[in-house]
Structure 1
Amino acid sequence: MSNWGAWAEYAVAEAASCIPLLDTVRDEDAAAMIVNPLTALAMFDIVKQEGEKAFIMTAGASQLCKLIIGLAKEEGFRPIVTVRRDEQIPLLKELGAAHALNEKAADFEAALREVMKAEQPRIFLDAVTGPLASVIFNVMPKRSRWIVYGRLDAEATVIREPGQLIFQHKRIEGFWLAEWMRQFRDRLGPAVLEAQKRFSDGRWSTDVTAVVPLDEAMARLSDELVKPNGKVFVKP
């Protein structure tokens, strides 16, 4: 298995680093409480501060993007997402995506240009980088911000037109949740509580591929981990 982790019956931690859980939060949601939920809340706050209703995200079928789509739908924003398979599109549209584009489609770049022209998004939340991100950033309007928070594509990322950084005031920056938590300590507690409330009342939920009993883990984990877009949990 290429995935890694740790197992222990007990762990010692500083009390200040622990998060009290509401009784209404499922174990599956609690196990995925930190990275995706807090990143979703933090990055959607960036979108709101920018002021434009439309924004674009790669890896649109990921758990993180689904959480952001839910936030956007509630507040009348128009997320544009890219995916790798047509069958992912209907669910994302149902969740609240204004546009879902298959990056593997022959007409992807033409469709992307049409959507960019109509929606004028200035925030690009990118988990992929590589050629896909280069295409998207190149066709975005003036004063756009490319915010990189992952690198799913190992291929080199090329800036098609560096002059856009000068004459169109485009920007490239990174987002790292650990840095956000250090910088905005006063927001951490309210964000954790907000995430728990959303999981408790059903506005958010964790996509679960499988819950594997511990005594079956060695036999089943490899097969379960290759399935897309869901979490795999090991249960004692």
Structure 2
Amino acid sequence: MKVYELKVNHSNTTTLIMKNRDALSSHPIRSDFKEQNLARDWQPAEMQTYKRRKFNEFPYLIPEKPIVSEKVMQILKPHTPTEVEFLPLLHNEFELYMMNVTNILDCVDWQRSEAQWLYEKYFMRFDKLVFDFAKIPKNTYLFKTEELATTKVFVTELFRELIEDYQLPGLDFSVVYDSEFTYTEAEQRMDQGQAVGSGKWRMQFDEEGEFWLGELTLELKYRWGRPVYIPPILLGYSWHEVEKCEIDSFNW
């Protein structure tokens, strides 16, 4: 599984600014977008083009908040009824919507993440952000974390696949958070009772604490054994968590 930071490709996407910015001082658009619901009190705010560029499906707003075209809204809305409010905006050329992502997940892996705190109490920022992918529901498209709810939106592979299926340009998927990990981390997860996999290989401990290595055969069945040593090639593989298998017999 992969998670991406929702980022606009500034170099080829139209940039917007708020029209009559001072008149919008008390408008919800000036809020931190951390509240769960804004639609009830929302009145369409007027945008204007600052720099016109090639793509207009995901315009970039100064200050940065996620905006999509009506086309993108129509594509995303059926998939995100509990994750996003689409708030209408005004523009003299485009039909636009601001996205208020209300799906806030407690999915930070604090054991592997590195954060800075003020007085060991107040969160400041992440130096290294790692997600606990088990806490991200499989049907998730967009979400925020409590710690970064005012500044960042994250999207899943489902979101990226949808965008690519409809060939919607203008996003930058270069900031990736991957659920894969090294062999050393795989050993740590097995010690915690998890099973791990990489390609045709699986590793896990049984109920007696015995280590098992499985190889997927051409018959699509795992051939399990208890090796004397780990094949060195496996040490360089990237691993991910998998469901534990029932090991029927020793068959190496």
Tell me which interval the TM-score lies in, with the shorter structure as reference length.
under 0.3
Greater Rg by CA = 2
TM-score calculated relative to the size of structure 2: 0.20
Structure with greater helix share of residues = 1
Structure with greater strand share of residues = 2
TM-score calculated relative to the size of structure 1: 0.21
